[in-house]
Structure 1
Amino acid sequence: MTWIDISQPLNSKIGHWPGDTPFSYETVYTKEQTGSVNIGKITTSLHSGTHVDAPFHFDDRGPKINELDINLFIGPARVIDMTDQLQISRETVSRYNLDGVTRLLIKTAVPNKPEIFTEKIVPLDPDCGAFLKEKGIFLIGVDVPSVDQLDSKDMAAHHALYKNGVHILENIMLDEIEPGDYDLVALPLPIEGADGSPVRAVIKKRGSGE
């Protein structure tokens, strides 16, 4: 099996946080102008599309995106289907087999429609932080824009995950992905001093060969 792209495509139609910087791309210099190449420019929030949150996003003293270990974002991951759950909590997550899991990707009932910024999500309860640490999980990926309610100001789930050493990948696309074990690559860009980064997140079924 080949690698599967679970990233939202970055284009002018992609949904973004209300009031935040939308994504845009333009060709600033054409090959005709330069005599050799086309040169483009992007403008975007670091939280548009599929992205990683750095702890600095919600904690002034937290590490910036370029300070995170890249090995966090490369390796085995398990996809679980929580589309029948009304909440993501210690109780509901503990119903799944997470033995040996270090990276957990959660599929919810929210359909992946990148051009629409969803108004309703299933957030994580803060009690997930300690539970995931107990299980040995250090990366969680969700198919929605945030692990907290969209109108949250205290960002309780973000803080609980960080306190327990769990890093955050958001806006992955899992609609067509079956539960199971995969290899994951979701590398953030080394943007010095940044609070997050877009990523190209891809997975491949484990044991599928090259």
Structure 2
Amino acid sequence: MRIIDLSVPILTGMPVYPGDPEVTVRPALTVALDGVNVLHLALGSQTGTHVDAPRHIDDSLPALDELPLERFAGPAVLVDARDAGARGAIGPEYFTGKVRPGVIVLVETGWSQHWGTVEYLAHPHLTPAAAELLIAAGVRTVGIDALSVDPTPALEIPVHRILCGAQAVIAENLTDLAQVRAAQQTGARIEVSLFPLRIPGGDGAPVRAVARIEDSRIPTETVIDT
């Protein structure tokens, strides 16, 4: 078994969605002056690798602390959408026959390689039809290695509205999904954890996203002649 970190680091000046709060990380207390180290963090709820609760798009929908914990962990299926390209549409054909109820769907666009550059804004995105297929298939957690499941910038966010409207959780700004894809190709069992901070009424929160990989192959027993 091995664990893969799917999270970006939280750093001062890191990329944020246009219009979101900028991030600052600085010492609040230090060992030299105060006897302990404590950091002061200033950041938005949608910072870095994070999850969106349904409350993100509608005050009447559940907040983070009102969702079952099962939304944030479970078996995962990776869908390879790297061929979608810049601002490309990821339609239902990418998911047909590949997803099932209760799984966490990870969409690999390959766009995490552009993290920290202007190209990161030109990421591929899901289509409303793809979001509707996922909900109809019983999926309630969707993650992507891009800034958003909708285009950036966007006057409308139909994919968010479909997924959040069905009380699904969205994880964005994942990274290193290539390792998950490689593990899936070997038949390994993959489980993902996306647990957020416990923020009452929260619209979202940063997460330490990780994938737990278990090799499905059964070791061959060694026979020792005596």
TM-score if structure 1 supplies the norm length?
Answer: 0.89
SS at match of 2:143: strand
Q: For the Cα contact (< 8 Å) 2:100–2:139, is it kept in 1?
A: no
Q: In 2, distance between residues paired with 1:20 and 1:163? A: 22
Deviation at 1:76, TM superposition (A): 0.7
Provide the residue aligned with 1:186 in structure 2: 194
Residue 73 of structure 2 is aligned to residue 74 of structure 1: yes
For residue 126 of structure 2, what is the aligned residue in structure 1? 124
Structure 1 segments unaligned to the other structure (5+ residues): none
* Structure ranking higher in helix proportion: 2
Shift of 1:105: 0.2
Q: Equivalent residue for 1:104? A: 105
The percent of aligned pairs where both chains have the same amino acid is 29
Q: Structure 2: any 5+ residue segments left out of the alignment? A: 218-226
Distance (Å, rounded) in 2 between the aligned partners of 1:161 and 1:71: 16
Q: In the alignment, is residue 49 of structure 1 matched against residue 48 of structure 2?
A: yes
Q: Shift in Å at residue 140 of structure 1?
A: 0.4
Alpha-carbon distance in structure 2 between the residues aligned to 1:150 and 1:20: 13
Number of paired residues? 207
2:224 is aligned to none
Q: Measure how far apart 1:141 and its partner are.
A: 0.3
- How far the C-alpha of 1:121 sits from its partner, in A, is 1.4
What are the Cα deviations for residues 136-183 of structure 1, in whole angstroms up to 9, with x where unaligned?
Answer: 211100011111111223211101112334320111013532422411
Once the two structures are TM-superposed, the CA of residue 103 in structure 1 deviates from its matched residue by: 0.9
Q: Equivalences for 1:1-210 in 2 at 5 Å?
A: 1-34=1-34, 36-85=35-84, 86-94=88-96, 97-99=98-100, 102-116=103-117, 118-179=120-181, 180=184, 181-207=189-215
Which protein has the larger Cα radius of gyration, Structure 1 or Structure 2? 2
Kindly report the root-mean-square deviation, in angstroms, between the aligned alpha carbons of the 2 structures: 2.1
Greater alpha carbon shift after TM alignment, 43-52 vs 19-28: 19-28
2:223 equivalent in structure 1: none
- For residues 178 and 192 of structure 1, the distance between their equivalents in structure 2, rounded to whole angstroms, comes to 32
- Going from structure 1 to structure 2, the CA distance change for 1:190 and 1:80 (only over 3 Å counts) comes to same
d(CA) in 2 for partners of 1:99 and 1:175?
A: 20
CA distance in 1, matches of 2:211, 2:79: 14
User: What do residues 116-136 of structure 1 show as CA deviations (whole Å, max 9, x unaligned)?
Assistant: 361201111112232112222
Distance 1:101 1:60, change over 3 A: closer
Query: What letter is aligned with 2:108?
Result: K
- Find the aligned partners of 2:64 and 2:116 in 1 and give their Cα distance: 26
CA drift at 1:99: 4.3
